[in-house]
């Protein structure tokens, strides 16, 4: 900035000095001041006045470069053949800045028409004043720069505190989560990226806590579910062991009971394994084009004897022929669970109906029964693992509370959804949606 100011002021001063040199040359020319000694004496007083007014030194040189007049008097008689003088003797005006001396020189030529004498006006001006001004401004600028730097420094310090403090909080909570303390929440005020990060962090820890709780619930549910058949087996086997001379029919009866408890445990364990596989996508989906109409026919055929046992009418209505991309085994099991439930939770003489329809994107499988229904509060829970509406009755019907969880996970894996609408005492409808590959109207 100092350099820019220096060259700016230097240009202005040079131009001004040159202007003054030309003005003085014209004045000498017009006044014919070089023609006689008397006129020259008059000229010197005019120049001295001008010099003290404008604060520059004026020298008048003859056509040999010898100083005739000098407002400082010191150089009279000396020869100055500096480049500016030589240029002006050639009829040109010029100006130069001499940095080492801190001086500006400007020269202009004089051509006295009457005396035919030539000469040069040489003005010398110190650049000191401008330099003092530039130094003053530079100093102020320097102070201002330091002041601004301090302000920026303080601002950056506080700004980084605003950013770093919440990040430190989050980091501390992450470390505590790593140590197993999942109940971590951070409180970050404001509405910026950092507070959004805090909110995302809180949502994540909440999810982690939920997963941890459901894991614990799952383990305790599994233990509880397995404990019941195990204690029955224990009671049954104890009674055989403690009694002497038991009749063989009783043996058989007890062993049959033990056998059915073992079957129940096996069913629970098999269902759990199926769920774990669905959860971890361990097995992966064996996707193929699946004809939903044929799949439903197969399921209905297989479950028909179960419905017959209870005198339940099992009907179907296919509004479209639908092909989907699915893991036929898993998807068939999922739908089978729904129809089996519909039969299981419908009183004898009732009815169960399966409908298949689709729009241009999705197929819809509805399983409707005239069964016992599910109240509204329970409807949100029935897809949870081990959830059973009536535990005592379910033990009679042989339910494990895992069927709907398996159905739910399978449908989600197939990018579909499942919903239930039901009224207690009137019946239920389960609606499964799954994306279609193609569909047409049945013949």
Among residues 428, 432, 433, 436, the one that binds ligand ADP under rule CB under 6 A: 428
**Within positions 303 to 342, which residues make up the interface with ligand ADP, using CB under 6 A?**
337, 341-342
Upper half-sphere CA count for residue 403 (Cβ side, 13 Å): 20
What HEC string does 346-388 produce? Answer: CCCCCEEEEEEEECCCEEEEEEEECCCCCCHHHHCCCCCCCCC
Nearer to ligand ADP, 108 or 428 (CB): 428
Q: Does 399 bind ligand ADP (CB under 6 A)?
A: yes
Q: Does 371 bind ligand ADP (CB under 6 A)?
A: yes
Dihedral Cα 126, 128, 134, 140, nearest 10 deg: -160
Q: In whole angstroms, how close is the CB of 276 to ligand ADP at the nearest point?
A: 16
Nearer to ligand ADP, 170 or 382 (CB): 382
Among residues 119, 166, 198, 403, the one that binds ligand ADP under rule CB under 6 A: 403
Site string for ligand ADP, 161-190 (x = CB under 6 A): ------------------------------
Alpha carbons 123 and 318: distance in angstroms, whole number: 112
Nearer to ligand ADP, 97 or 345 (CB): 345
| Residues 433, 438, 443: CA angle, nearest 5 degrees | 100
Quick one: which of 420, 425, 289 has its CA closest to 347? 425
Contact range with ligand ADP by CB under 6 A, out of 164-172, 199-207, 298-306, 395-403: 395-403
Alpha carbons 4 and 10: distance in angstroms, whole number: 10
Q: Does 410 bind ligand ADP (CB under 6 A)?
A: no
Nearer to ligand ADP, 93 or 400 (CB): 400
Please give the size of the binding site for ligand ADP, defined by CB under 6 A: 23
**Within positions 100 to 119, which residues make up the interface with ligand ADP, using CB under 6 A?**
none
Alpha carbons 202 and 186: distance in angstroms, whole number: 7
Q: Does 394 bind ligand ADP (CB under 6 A)?
A: yes
Q: In whole angstroms, how close is the CB of 262 to ligand ADP at the nearest point?
A: 18
Nearer to ligand ADP, 71 or 428 (CB): 428
Among residues 374, 411, 413, 436, the one that binds ligand ADP under rule CB under 6 A: 374
Contact range with ligand ADP by CB under 6 A, out of 33-41, 60-68, 82-90, 380-388: 380-388
Alpha carbons 58 and 107: distance in angstroms, whole number: 10
Among residues 166, 198, 401, 416, the one that binds ligand ADP under rule CB under 6 A: 401
Q: In whole angstroms, how close is the CB of 373 to ligand ADP at the nearest point?
A: 6
Quick one: which of 334, 344, 337 has its CA closest to 374? 344
Nearer to ligand ADP, 35 or 379 (CB): 379
Nearer to ligand ADP, 131 or 394 (CB): 394
Quick one: which of 325, 323, 330 has its CA closest to 356? 323
Exposure string (b/e) for 264-293, b if CB count within 10 Å is 16 or more? bbeebeebbebbeebeeeeeebeeeebebb
CA 35 from centroid of its chain's CA atoms: 88
Contact range with ligand ADP by CB under 6 A, out of 70-78, 97-105, 121-129, 372-380: 372-380
Q: Does 229 bind ligand ADP (CB under 6 A)?
A: no
Q: In whole angstroms, how close is the CB of 227 to ligand ADP at the nearest point?
A: 17
Alpha carbons 431 and 411: distance in angstroms, whole number: 11
Nearer to ligand ADP, 143 or 273 (CB): 273
Closest residue by beta carbon to ligand ADP: 399
Nearer to ligand ADP, 408 or 414 (CB): 408
Alpha carbons 356 and 367: distance in angstroms, whole number: 9
Which residues does 349 contact at the CB level (< 8 Å), separation at least 6?
310, 311, 312
Q: What are phi and psi of 205, to 5 degrees?
A: -65, -35
Do 258 and 237 contact (CB within 8 A), yes or no? yes
Q: Does 416 bind ligand ADP (CB under 6 A)?
A: no
Residues listed for the chain: 443
Do 442 and 371 contact (CB within 8 A), yes or no? no
Q: Does 388 bind ligand ADP (CB under 6 A)?
A: yes
Nearer to ligand ADP, 130 or 271 (CB): 271
Alpha carbons 91 and 241: distance in angstroms, whole number: 141
What HEC string does 172-234 produce? Answer: HHHHHHHCCCCCCCCCCCCCCHHHHHHHHHHHHHHHHHHHHHHHHHHHHHHHHHHHHHHHHHH
Q: In whole angstroms, how close is the CB of 372 to ligand ADP at the nearest point?
A: 5
Applying CB under 6 A, the residues found at the interface with ligand ADP are 337, 341-342, 345, 369, 371-374, 382, 387-390, 394, 399-405, 428
């Amino acid at each position: 900035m100092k350099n820019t100011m220096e060259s700016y002021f230097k240009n202005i001063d040079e131009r001004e000095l040159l202007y003054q040199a030309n003005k003085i040359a014209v004045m000498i020319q017009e006044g014919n001041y070089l023609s006689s000694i008397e006129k020259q004496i008059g000229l010197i007083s005019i120049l001295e006045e001008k010099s003290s007014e404008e604060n520059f030194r004026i020298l008048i040189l003859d056509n040999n470069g010898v100083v005739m007049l000098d407002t400082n008097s010191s150089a009279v008689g000396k020869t100055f053949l500096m480049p500016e003088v030589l240029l002006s003797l050639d009829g040109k005006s010029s100006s130069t800045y001499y940095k080492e001396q801190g001086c500006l020189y400007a020269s202009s030529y004089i051509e006295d028409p009457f005396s035919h004498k030539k000469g040069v006006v040489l003005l010398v001006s110190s650049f000191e004043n401008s330099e003092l001004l530039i130094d003053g401004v530079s100093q102020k600028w320097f102070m201002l720069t330091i002041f601004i730097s301090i302000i920026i420094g303080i601002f950056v310090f506080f700004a980084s505190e605003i950013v770093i403090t919440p990040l430190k909080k989050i980091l501390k909570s992450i470390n505590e989560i790593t140590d197993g303390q999942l109940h971590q929440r951070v409180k970050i005020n404001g509405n910026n990226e950092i507070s959004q990060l805090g909110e995302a962090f809180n949502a994540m820890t909440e999810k982690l806590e939920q997963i941890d709780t459901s894991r614990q619930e799952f383990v305790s549910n599994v233990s509880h579910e397995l404990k019941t058949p195990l204690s029955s087996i224990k009671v049954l086997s104890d009674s055989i062991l403690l009694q002497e001379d038991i009749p063989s029919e009783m043996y058989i009866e007890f062993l049959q009971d033990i056998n059915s408890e073992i079957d129940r445990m096996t069913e629970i364990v098999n269902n759990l394994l199926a769920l774990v596989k669905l959860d971890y996508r361990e097995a992966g989906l064996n996707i193929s084009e699946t004809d939903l109409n044929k799949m439903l026919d197969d399921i209905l055929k297989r479950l028909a004897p179960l419905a017959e046992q209870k005198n339940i009418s099992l009907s179907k209505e296919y509004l479209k022929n639908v092909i989907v991309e699915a893991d036929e085994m898993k998807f068939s099991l999922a739908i089978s669970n729904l129809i089996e439930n519909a039969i299981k939770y419908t009183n004898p003489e009732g009815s169960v109906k399966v409908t298949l329809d689709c729009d241009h994107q999705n197929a819809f499988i509805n399983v409707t029964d005239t069964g016992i229904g599910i109240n509204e509060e329970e409807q949100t829970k029935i897809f949870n693992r081990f959830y059973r509406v009536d535990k005592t009755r379910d033990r009679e019907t042989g339910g494990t509370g895992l069927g709907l969880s398996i159905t739910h996970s399978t449908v989600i894996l197939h990018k579909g959804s499942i919903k239930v609408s039901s009224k207690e005492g009137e019946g239920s409808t389960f609606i499964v949606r799954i994306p279609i590959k193609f569909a047409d109207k049945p013949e």
